[in-house]
Amino acid sequence: MAIGSRRASYEWLMASACILAYEPATAQPEPMSTATVDSLVRGSERVSRSGSYEALTGQVLTEPSAAESTRSTTVGSAFETLNCSPLQQSSKPTPKFGTPGTTHVVFVPLVGKAIGVNEWFYILNVEVDHFFLKNTCVNLHFQGIYYDQPGPPTVGYGPALTLRRYFFVRPTGNVFLAGGVGLTYSDNPVPEVVGSKLNFTPRAAVGFSQELFGGTRLIGGLRVIHSQGLGGSDFSRTILQPFLGLSIVLY
């Protein structure tokens, strides 16, 4: 409402109060407080707005009831809960390590040394680990291997399948036993001259892992690898290979 209209309402109310105060044969009323006057003025403003709305639309402007206000607030809160916080609704706790049914993709760079032989192995290993029992998983590997051996160094690659069992599982580390089979193909014979380019490689290992930071662990241990030549050579050997590396969870 305009300032002039509000002032006119004040003057009209004050004049009415004065007339009532001096009307004969009636008790003199108590003075009206400022709060009461303001309340009456706000009421007259609502009536004025209601009349203007009714004149324009043919409908009566009414104040919402307490029940309607409460219902509107409740519906709005429910909408926010269901639609405005999808991440909060769908968040789930991360399963513990070794939980059956969980699967991880892991990148494992390793360094190994053959005992009694002047050969080093540099291994890049990507593996998919699936836990089918608590703390027991089957592992599918794809390995790239650089053989630093007497004679010409060579590069090999191939798949492997292993079974791994974890013991003394703690949030920061564990001990494991593993065993499985693999197949490798290299550019040059391994070992040089007497070995084969294609080798069947059963293996077993015992080791440990220790948490460094989120998703990355230090791993180490000792593994036994038997190499059986296939194709042009039937040369075979068994070596002990200490190893040390990292286990980095990609997924």
Total domain count for the chain? 2
Please state the rounded mean pLDDT for residues 161-176: 94
190 band by pLDDT with thresholds 50, 70 and 90? confident
Q: Residue 98 falls within a domain, yes or no?
A: no
Q: Are residues 74 and 183 located together in one domain of the fold?
A: no
More reliable by pLDDT, 145 or 87: 145
Domain boundary among 69, 90, 111: 90
53 band by pLDDT with thresholds 50, 70 and 90? very low
* DSSP state, residue 51: H
Q: Are residues 208 and 112 located together in one domain of the fold?
A: yes
Which of these ranges, 59-63, 135-139, 196-200, 205-209, has the smallest mean pLDDT?
59-63
Q: Residue 82 falls within a domain, yes or no?
A: yes
Closest alpha carbon to 149 in 73, 227, 66, 94: 227
Please state the rounded mean pLDDT for residues 35-47: 57
Domain boundary among 68, 90, 112: 90
The answer, yes or no, to whether residue 219 has pLDDT greater than 90, is yes
Q: Are residues 69 and 128 located together in one domain of the fold?
A: no
pLDDT digits (tens, 9 = 90+) for 85-97: 544 545 677 788 8
235 band by pLDDT with thresholds 50, 70 and 90? confident
Alpha helices in 126-236, H assignment, sequence order: none
Work out the number of other CB atoms within 10 angstroms of the CB of residue 225: 20
Is the pTM of the predicted complex or chain greater than 0.75?
no
Q: Are residues 120 and 43 located together in one domain of the fold?
A: no
Write down the mean pLDDT value for the chain.
Answer: 78
Please state the rounded mean pLDDT for residues 182-191: 91
**Domain that includes residue 53, residue range:** 3-90
Q: Residue 95 falls within a domain, yes or no?
A: no
Q: Percent of the chain scored above 70 by pLDDT? A: 63
Distance (Å) of CA 142 to CA 58, 73, 123, 210, 225: 79, 58, 10, 23, 16
The answer, yes or no, to whether residue 204 has pLDDT greater than 90, is yes
CA gap 221, 63 in Å, rounded: 78
Q: Are residues 50 and 139 located together in one domain of the fold?
A: no
What pLDDT does 192 receive? 80
Domain boundary among 90, 112, 143: 90
Q: Are residues 111 and 82 located together in one domain of the fold?
A: no
The answer, yes or no, to whether residue 222 has pLDDT greater than 80, is yes
Helix (H, G, I), strand (E, B) or coil at 6: helix
What pLDDT does 49 receive? 53
What pLDDT does 28 receive? 53
Q: Are residues 212 and 149 located together in one domain of the fold?
A: yes
Q: Are residues 55 and 110 located together in one domain of the fold?
A: no
Q: Residue 97 falls within a domain, yes or no?
A: no
Closest alpha carbon to 220 in 231, 212, 229: 212
CA gap 248, 251 in Å, rounded: 9
Q: What CATH number is given to the structural domain containing 155?
A: 2.40.160.20
Q: Are residues 133 and 52 located together in one domain of the fold?
A: no
CA gap 219, 202 in Å, rounded: 20
Q: Are residues 169 and 83 located together in one domain of the fold?
A: no
What pLDDT does 1 receive? 45
pLDDT digits (tens, 9 = 90+) for 97-139: 889 999 999 999 999 988 888 889 999 999 999 999 999 999 9
Q: Are residues 238 and 123 located together in one domain of the fold?
A: yes
Q: Residue 172 falls within a domain, yes or no?
A: yes
